[in-house]
Structure 1
Amino acid sequence: MTNFNDTIRILIPLKVCKKNGRAKILPPADHGPSADQAQDPHILRAIGRAWGWRRRMEAGEFATIQELAEAVGLAERHVSRQLRLAYLAPEVLKRLTCGREASSVSLYDLCFLAGETWQEQAERAFR
C-alpha cells in the first residue's frame, strides 16, 4: 500500500460543456489549438447535406421544401432550418470546411446566420 506522501497528483484545468448535444472537453483558455484540429463532423455533415439539398431543389427535382422533407424522411422544419447552411457567406464556409477553424456558435445557431450580412456572419460565427 502507498502512503499519502507517495501519491502524485496532476491537475489539468479542463472545462466540460455541451456542443450540439454532446459533452465536449475544452482545453484551458491559454492553450492554442493544434495544427491538425479538425472541424466538428456534425457541422461538416450538415453543410454537405444542405448543399446536396440545394442542388436537388435548383435542378427541379423538388418544387417545395415539403416535398424534399418527405423524400428524405425528415421534418419539414428541420430541413428548412438546415437548408439555410447552404446560403452562408463564402468566407464562413471556407473557414468552417477548409480552414479547420472551430465555430464559436452551435450548429443550431449557425443555421440562423444565413439571414445576416456576410460580414456579420463571419463576426458572429468566429468570435
Structure 2
Amino acid sequence: MTRSNDTIRVLIPLKLRKKNGRPKIMPPADCCPSEDQTQDPHILRAIGRAWGWRRRMEAGEFSTIQELAEAVGLAERHVSRQLRLAYLAPEVLKRLTCGREASAVSLYDLCFLAVDTWQEQAERAFRCPE
C-alpha cells in the first residue's frame, strides 16, 4: 500500500463544456492550439452561411434581419448573431478558412469579435503571438 506522501497528483487545467449536445474538453485559455489541429467544421459552415446571408441582404433580397430569419427558418436573434461572422477582419477570416487554424474561442464568442478592431480580433480569436 502506498502512503499519502508517496502519492503524486497531476492537475490538468481543462474544462468540460457541452458543444452540440456532446461533452467536449476545452483547453486552458492561455493555450495555443497545435499546428496539426484542424478547424472546427461548425465554424467554417457558420462563416459560409453568414457570407451567404450578407450577400442576399446586400442584393436587396431581404431588407431586414427579421425577414431573413423568417425565410431561413431560424430565430432572428440567432441570425443576427451569426451574421456578424461576415464582418470579421480579413486576416481572421483568412486564418480560419484558408489556413485552417483552430480558433481559441468558441463559435459563440467568435460572433462577438466583429465589434473589435481588426488587430484585437486576431489577438482574441487565436490568443497566440504572430
TM-score range (shorter-chain normalised) is 0.7 to 0.9
Unaligned 5+ runs, structure 2: 1-11
User: 1:16 & 1:116 partners in 2: Cα distance?
Assistant: 26
Q: What's the C-alpha RMSD, in Å, of the aligned pairs? A: 2.6
- Distance in 2, Cα, partners of 1:55 & 1:106: 24
| Matched residue count | 114
Matched, 1:44 2:44: yes
Check conservation: 2:50, 2:85, Cα contact below 8 A.
Answer: yes
Q: How does 1:1-127 map to 2 (within 5 A)?
A: 17-18=16-17, 20-21=19-20, 22-25=22-25, 33=34, 35=36, 37-127=37-127
Kept in 2: contact 1:69–1:75 (CA 8 A): yes
- TM-score if structure 1 supplies the norm length? 0.78
CA distance in 1, matches of 2:114, 2:26: 27
Distance 1:24 1:84 in 2: 25
- In the TM superposition, residue 38 of structure 1 has moved relative to its aligned partner by 1.9
Alpha-carbon distance between aligned partners in 1 of 2:100 and 2:114, rounded to the nearest angstrom: 20
Larger Rg: 1
- Per-residue CA deviation, residues 84-125 of structure 1 (Å, 9 max, x unaligned), is 000000000011111121111110110000000000000000
- 1:39, CA displacement in angstroms? 0.6
Opposite residue 38 of structure 2, the aligned amino acid is: A
- TM-score of the aligned structures, taking structure 2 as reference length: 0.76
Q: Please, which runs of 5 or more residues in structure 1 have no aligned partner?
A: 1-12
- Percent same amino acid at aligned positions? 83
Runs of 4 or more consecutive aligned structure 1 residues displaced over 6 Å after TM superposition:
none
